[in-house]
């Protein structure tokens, strides 16, 4: 089966060229001009960008959290991702208290059977003991090469420094990457209790009790612990100037220090959490949205390379029936925002606004996450031998984001009414059409688990 993507502008992390792309079965086999190729399927990409499928390395499908479950499962979430130009996600399997990593991972393999796009898995470690450390090595051997630890949420996810240090040493030995939720959960919990006692129960107080200084402190601690353990470390969902400065400081010392940010920290602010009534609950996530002045600094981090990845931290909860669990108490609002469908186009907004160039856009949305998490060069680029995961992106389309038009299984959009440019018009996975003409052509279960290689940074 041969497919030809014809007449477009092929954009990778390093090049922009007018070229055709030839696909044989699941792989890209040639990129060039003037080729005379007979194909079973021809996709006209005239006037469009031909880009690698997006790689979103931070999603939570059906995660149990805050007394509820994230409202997208692997079918609805990956379908929405595909509509938005993302063809590979890396989701977080969760260890429950009292169980080993294996059981948690197997539960996630079960959930992921209905995925419509390719996927990898990280593992969230909630308890560190000798057995868990051994299992970390086993998982690395199976292509689960990254582990998320939490410095926040005491009694739910939080680990102490000794446990974090033990897990880091294990990762250093096996070539795994430690990913950290970096907020200092102890003092934050004291503030939450104080605010509630003072009758401050509205959603905005979620943000006010998790100040940036506690993110900066935690990021600083991560890289000190990682230095002692002799391992790289990666900060997830970095939200603030304070945290970014701690990453910069570590990188300036020569540490393998990495971090991602997310669209919500680039475009939304604590003012959204302070919207009248209970609407601010739609924007409750952790770390919380910051004052708008942090955004410019994050864009600078993306420009200069101190931030390497933009992921979503897609963790959708319905406004009605889920977010309202915290109607009278902000600490009971399930934490997380939906955006797996919007990341590609929202980040392209950074090109439109002059924050980043087109090649850097492709690097941030596909190539760098694939490299960071052991998926490259199979994913994250368009090159002979790579999977034919391709987005034909029309940059001329103007549209308005709305809950009514989206495919994510959630009853609101954080970006309701925002005008954006660009549409992932045709989306291919391993040479097969997933999205075309506004319709979905994939099937539940056709997404494959992609074992990831060890981290080489």
- Which stretches of the chain bind Zn ion, using CB under 5 A? 181, 313
Distance (Å, whole) CA 209 – CA 188:
6
Least Å from the CB of residue 315 to ligand URP: 4
Nearer to ligand URP, 119 or 348 (CB): 119
Least Å from the CB of residue 236 to ligand URP: 6
Least Å from the CB of residue 259 to ligand URP: 14
Nearer to ligand URP, 270 or 315 (CB): 315
Nearer to ligand URP, 285 or 298 (CB): 285
282 binds, among Zn ion, ligand URP, none (CB under 5 to 8 A by kind): none
Nearer to ligand URP, 49 or 317 (CB): 317
Helix (H, G, I), strand (E, B) or coil at 180: strand
364 binds, among ligand URP, Zn ion, none (CB under 5 to 8 A by kind): none
> Closest Cα to residue 259, out of 287, 292, 230?
287
Q: Within 13 Å of residue 394, how many CA atoms lie on the same side as its CB?
A: 13
Least Å from the CB of residue 95 to ligand URP: 14
336 binds, among ligand URP, Zn ion, none (CB under 5 to 8 A by kind): ligand URP
| Cβ atoms of 239 and 267 closer than 8 Å | no
Q: Which ranges constitute the DSSP H helices of 327-375?
A: 343-352, 358-362, 368-372
Q: Which ranges constitute the DSSP H helices of 353-445?
A: 358-362, 368-372
Least Å from the CB of residue 330 to ligand URP: 13
Least Å from the CB of residue 445 to ligand URP: 26
| Cβ atoms of 426 and 8 closer than 8 Å | no
11 binds, among ligand URP, Zn ion, none (CB under 5 to 8 A by kind): none
Least Å from the CB of residue 262 to ligand URP: 9
Which residues contact ligand URP (rule: CB under 6 A)?
A: 60, 181, 237, 285-286, 313, 315, 335-336
Nearer to ligand URP, 49 or 412 (CB): 412
The torsion defined by the Cα of 356, 357, 360 and 366, in degrees rounded to 10, comes to: 100
Nearer to Zn ion, 87 or 311 (CB): 311
Strands (E), 154-290: 177-181, 233-235, 257-261
Distances (CA, A) of 372 to 56, 260, 378: 12, 11, 13
User: How many other β-carbons are positioned within 10 Å of the β-carbon of residue 442?
Assistant: 20
Nearer to Zn ion, 3 or 311 (CB): 311
Distance (Å, whole) CA 211 – CA 197:
19
């Amino acid at each position: 089966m041969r497919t030809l993507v014809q007449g477009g502008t092929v954009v990778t992390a390093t090049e922009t060229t007018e070229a055709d792309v030839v696909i044989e079965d699941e792989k890209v086999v040639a990129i060039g001009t003037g080729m005379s190729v007979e194909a079973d399927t021809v996709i006209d990409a005239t006037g469009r960008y031909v880009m690698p499928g997006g790689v979103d390395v931070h999603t939570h499908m059906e995660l149990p959290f805050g007394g509820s479950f994230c409202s997208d499962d692997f079918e609805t979430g990956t379908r929405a991702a595909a509509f938005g130009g993302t063809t590979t996600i890396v989701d977080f399997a969760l260890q429950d208290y009292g169980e080993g990593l294996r059981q948690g991972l197997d539960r996630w393999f079960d959930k992921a059977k209905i995925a419509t796009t390719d996927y990898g898995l990280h593992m969230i470690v909630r308890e560190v003991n000798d057995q868990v450390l051994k299992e970390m090595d086993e998982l690395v051997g199976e292509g689960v090469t990254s582990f998320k630890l939490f410095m926040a949420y005491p009694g739910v996810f939080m680990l102490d420094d000794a446990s974090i240090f033990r897990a880091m040493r294990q990762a250093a030995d096996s070539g795994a990457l430690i990913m950290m939720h970096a907020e200092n959960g102890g003092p934050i919990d004291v503030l939450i209790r104080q605010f509630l006692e003072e009758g401050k129960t509205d959603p905005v107080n979620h943000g006010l009790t998790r100040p940036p200084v506690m993110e900066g402190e935690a990021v600083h601690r991560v890289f000190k612990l990682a230095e002692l353990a002799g391992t790289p470390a990666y900060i997830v969902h970095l939200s603030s100037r304070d945290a970014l400065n701690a990453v910069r400081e570590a990188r300036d010392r020569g540490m393998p220090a990495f971090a991602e940010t997310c669209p919500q920290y680039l475009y939304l602010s604590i003012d959204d959490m302070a919207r009248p009534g209970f609407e601010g609950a739609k924007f409750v996530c952790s770390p919380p949205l910051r004052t708008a002045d942090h955004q410019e600094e994050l864009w600078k981090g993306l420009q200069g390379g101190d931030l390497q990845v933009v992921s979503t931290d897609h963790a959708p909860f319905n406004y009605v029936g889920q977010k309202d669990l915290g109607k009278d108490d902000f600490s009971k609002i399930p934490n997380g925002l939906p955006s797996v469908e919007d990341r590609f186009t929202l980040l392209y907004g950074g090109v439109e606004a002059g924050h980043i160039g087109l090649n850097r856009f492709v690097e941030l949305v596909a190539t760098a996450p694939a490299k960071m998490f052991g998926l490259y060069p199979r994913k994250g680029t368009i090159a002979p031998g790579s999977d034919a995961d391709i987005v034909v992106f029309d940059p001329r389309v103007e549209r308005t984001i709305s809950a009514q038009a989206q495919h994510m299984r959630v009853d609101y959009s954080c970006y309701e009414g925002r005008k954006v440019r660009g549409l992932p018009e045709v989306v291919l996975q391993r040479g097969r059409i997933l999205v075309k003409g506004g319709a979905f052509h994939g099937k539940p279960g056709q997404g494959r688990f992609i074992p990831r290689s060890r981290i080489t940074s």
